[in-house]
Structure 1
């Protein structure tokens, strides 16, 4: 066995033994030893291998595979620009707290800086966006190598899952293992390796099951500093944003409602939400109502990235803002008065942090918030948005999804349309890439969710988000295909900008080319080129009926809407909200 084959075999073996169950491989020459090792592991039934020809899409596929399972997926590339193409996914994994192992093949160190083909300085290429990295020297035929390689793989999984520090639980995220490989890069009939290739470390190495890891992360989080609520302002509002660990959303809402505080939440996490005030951004959008019901304190839980009214509340003069993040980096913000690490997610709902006192509350004031949400929901339910709008598509998707579905939301308008929609009655989990909230890799991330889970999986995104990752549709005939239905709200361009300052009527002269950016792409033809089912949806009932069909393979449902009506529709929503709140 030659050195490169030996190294790849040991690395893959130890990654699997440490719990890895999915790997995404991009073809390349320098990474060939890793490709052969992954193929053998799949043949043995030890992991599932996914091959993709686009490294950027591959990185987001790995992110999607790990996002809900919380078990790191491995993405493997060859050297050079292939590595750089992973950077967007690495950044999202970093900010979104998603475990991922980036395994990149490299030329030997002596070729760096010499102009050698496909050679750059790969160590450090991802900067501070990784939890841990190693530049593994090219292997040589010496003893002691197997133990060293196994330690590299073990450390990679440990840091990716956040199993570090004094408590054994830190911040999950991406890690980078850069491996120098010399020729020969394919298996050869060399002399036997000088030590047993399957030699195991002495410590226990049984892989951690996904549910056990998730429970360990949530449970250990409770050891952090807690919030003393016994001496705090009575008029407290809790805002819940995106949270990385399954179960955190429900626990945060239980913690807040047990104390009688009104809760507003972004759409990410589980549904239905009986204890969350519906149409939260619209409740906050009426300055007259908010002035007469202003909170003394706001507790911000997780990442809040969607709504300008929410951001304005966090900046409101005289309001004390405290942040509760799932991990320390989330709450390192200059605009908050106090910072609390994760502390509310594992406490029994009947227990009050801070010595067993009673959380202060203004029951009349809290009830006014809840009543406002109920009035608003009733008023908006009387008049559905026009069908040629993203808001109507979002309402139809929420109504049509089967019980127990998973819905991935693209960035930009679709996430905001769902945020403004009425409450979902059936069981649903909503997921999005809100680490950096970019439109990168959304088709691939949704595909990863579908491949990692048996629940019916859907995605809702705009046409630019869809086109930005159209290579996510490129799944070869030999690969496992995700069972995923993608609903594309096609307004032929950047509809989000119609709601922002560039979309103001006074700036119409320059809008279309600089921000509207129409593409005119024939989505049906694009899907046909990838052998993906496409259906043009013309009515709400047609969309609801199509969503009732359980996803089988890739399918795209295209709904065309009018981008020009976005701004007026949102203005009308705010006006109706103000009228309902003042009633």
Structure 2
């Protein structure tokens, strides 16, 4: 057996023994040994994508939803560079990825050899661990090295407290395909009972015990863990819960769905300063919430990784891996005050949305209300996630995900596909037109590839709608060209180019029917950027007026 085939066979076998179930491959020549080894392993579900960036975000979506490492393979050269945005997102949001980049051997580097770049620590600090595997050699000791290396990479990616991407750079010399000889200088078999190295997770951390208080608040952002336990504890303590849609805690009687407007009303925010705030994950969507956090007497951040805790406002007073929220004595006036204001604000903004025909916040609200229990909703990171945050009513039975680690718009179609392929149930995605066009290659699926049950809902306002809500909108002369960026693309033709079923919606009552179906499909909803900006201002004014009437 030639060394390239031996290394690839052992590495893939050991990763499968560790628990690897999905591999995404972007085809190329130098990665041939890895591709053949994965293709031959029945324990692994293989996904092939012709575009490396699309492949990397597909792997990100698979790993994000499954919460298990997914391997990502490419050939040498700029193919590996195209993985970088997804690696950054995985790093920032704590998603376990195993990035296996094939490489030329050392003697071909710095010689002008084709498809050869410097791949050593290519992703810098955006990975949890990097290893240059080394060119495989036909000598004793290699099998133990490869198997232990695979176990270390898998476990380091998994965490458990700080999951994220791991990069193995794998140089191969030719020949790259099997030579018909199956002999090797030492036994290649692994441990019959499982992985070569069995990692043991440390005992649970000691929890921080808080002082009992009714004037507490639970804030939940992206990447939160143990959410249900903390929501239950907050409920027993009489605390309101302020959860971003992708935080997973916007359900039940304690969820304040209009918190963005409550905390944007100074009269309410000033009178509702908490004694303690407990934050799970990383909140990042609401500027009023972030400003309000700065004024909490005690701000406790719960973080799995004690070296990388989220604190964008620099207001954390304590950081702990676990927190115990005690049940305080006293009445529920604190919670009742939040509920009254939340109900008033919610009624005011619903009335504005319902009176404005088909609009972007209403689409986000109605989409959430319409989806069946057990659904997955993947959101774009620009306006759609903010519309969900401001318009979504509390509900159970829906999992919402978004790429909010680096909060970029790239790779959303592919990430949604990966998440849908890992989800046991129907999946949907909500995104803007620029986000959709940025990753339209994600629609390219070969006839033998696993196909997701995924409906892509695309809000088309012909450009970058979020800029119409920012100060840049006041720059009337340059705005449309350098921020608005109208594109004029007919999304129906984009769908047709890949044979993807397409539906156009222009009335609110058409949404429910348009969402029906199976497999990959697209629903387009057209809106107007300027009208959307005016509507958001009306929602804000109506909510603030309703809140001020109470305080």
Name the TM tier (shorter chain).
over 0.9
Q: Secondary structure at the match of 1:434?
A: coil
Per the TM alignment, residue 424 of structure 1 is displaced from its structure 2 partner at its CA by 4.2
Distance 1:173 1:361, change over 3 A: farther
Match of 1:572 among 535, 538, 546: 538
Residues 24-57 of structure 1: CA distance to partner in whole angstroms, max 9, x if unpaired?
Answer: 001101001111111101xxx3111000011111
- The answer on whether the counterparts of 1:484 and 1:553 sit within 8 Å (CA) in structure 2 is yes
TM-score, with normalisation over the residues of structure 1? 0.89
Is 1:555 matched with 2:521?
yes
Q: 1:48 aligns to what?
A: 45
Is 1:200 matched with 2:178?
no
Q: 1:477 aligns to what?
A: 447
Q: 1:166 aligns to what?
A: none
Distance 1:390 1:139, change over 3 A: same
Match of 2:172 among 177, 181, 188: 181
Distance 1:307 1:469, change over 3 A: same
Is 1:368 matched with 2:337?
yes
Q: 2:133 aligns to what?
A: 136
User: Structure 2 matches for 1:48-447, cutoff 5 A?
Assistant: 48-162=45-159, 169-190=160-181, 192-197=183-188, 199-201=189-191, 204-205=194-195, 223-230=204-211, 235-243=215-223, 245=225, 248-268=226-246, 269=248, 272-316=251-295, 319-328=297-306, 329-331=308-310, 335-344=314-323, 352=326, 359=328, 363-385=332-354, 386-425=356-395, 427-447=397-417
Residues 300-335 of structure 1: CA distance to partner in whole angstroms, max 9, x if unpaired?
Answer: 22111111111211234x644332234331336671
Is 1:9 matched with 2:9?
yes
Distance 1:299 1:426, change over 3 A: closer
Residues 414-442 of structure 1: CA distance to partner in whole angstroms, max 9, x if unpaired?
Answer: 00111111414452111111111111111
Distance in 1 of aligned mates of 2:442 and 2:33: 25
Q: How many residues are treated as equivalent by the alignment?
A: 546
Distance in 1 of aligned mates of 2:96 and 2:362: 35
Distance 1:54 1:282, change over 3 A: same
Distance in 2 of aligned mates of 1:227 and 1:341: 6
Distance 1:207 1:576, change over 3 A: farther
Per the TM alignment, residue 396 of structure 1 is displaced from its structure 2 partner at its CA by 2.1
Runs of 4+ in 1 over 6 A off after TM superposition: none
Distance in 1 of aligned mates of 2:378 and 2:318: 30
- The answer on whether the counterparts of 1:331 and 1:340 sit within 8 Å (CA) in structure 2 is no
Per the TM alignment, residue 83 of structure 1 is displaced from its structure 2 partner at its CA by 0.5
Distance 1:207 1:489, change over 3 A: farther
- The answer on whether the counterparts of 2:242 and 2:250 sit within 8 Å (CA) in structure 1 is no
Match of 2:470 among 500, 510, 528: 500
Q: Secondary structure at the match of 2:449?
A: coil
- The answer on whether the counterparts of 1:260 and 1:361 sit within 8 Å (CA) in structure 2 is no
Distance in 1 of aligned mates of 2:95 and 2:174: 34
- The answer on whether the counterparts of 1:229 and 1:360 sit within 8 Å (CA) in structure 2 is no
Distance in 2 of aligned mates of 1:422 and 1:79: 44
- The answer on whether the counterparts of 1:270 and 1:427 sit within 8 Å (CA) in structure 2 is no
Distance in 2 of aligned mates of 1:554 and 1:118: 34
